[in-house]
Amino acid sequence: MTDLALLKSHMNLIGTDDDALLTHKIAAAEQWISDHIGKDLASIDPMPATLTEAVLQLAAAWYEQREAVLIGIGANEVPFGVRDLIRPYREWVL
């Protein structure tokens, strides 16, 4: 769904050495977002730019920080803003 070339442009990456890993990060980010909004991203057509931005930010963060670590006093599960970008698309179940 989210284009590999778009993620590489977002991250200013060239070359193909990490294409498989980047593709995996895109899939993982899309799954994480789908799980958090309660619907499959593939069912949303056309994909809003804000959801694409959330995928890009999350995939890039997971690529750049590949291990779960805590440095200093702050910890963020996901980059700032990702939850705000996906919130309007969340299906709330009571």
Query: What pLDDT digit, counting tens, does each position of 12-41 carry?
Result: 999 999 999 999 999 999 999 999 999 999
Helix axes 49-64, 19-37, angle to 10 degrees: 130
Taking the C-alpha atoms of residue 10 and residue 41, their distance in angstroms, rounded to an integer, is 20
Query: How many domains does the structure of the chain reveal?
Result: 1
Whether 8 is covered by a domain: the verdict is: yes
Per-residue pLDDT, 54: 97
- The reported pTM is 0.88
Whether 94 is covered by a domain: the verdict is: no
Per-residue pLDDT, 70: 63
* Phi, psi (rounded to 5 degrees) for 71: -120, 130
pLDDT in tens, 46-87: 999 999 999 999 999 999 987 766 666 666 667 789 999 999
Phi/psi region, residue 19 (left: phi>0; alpha: psi -120 to 50; beta: rest), is: alpha
Q: Which domain holds residue 59?
A: 4-89
Half-sphere exposure at residue 16, Cβ-oriented, CA atoms within 13 angstroms? 0
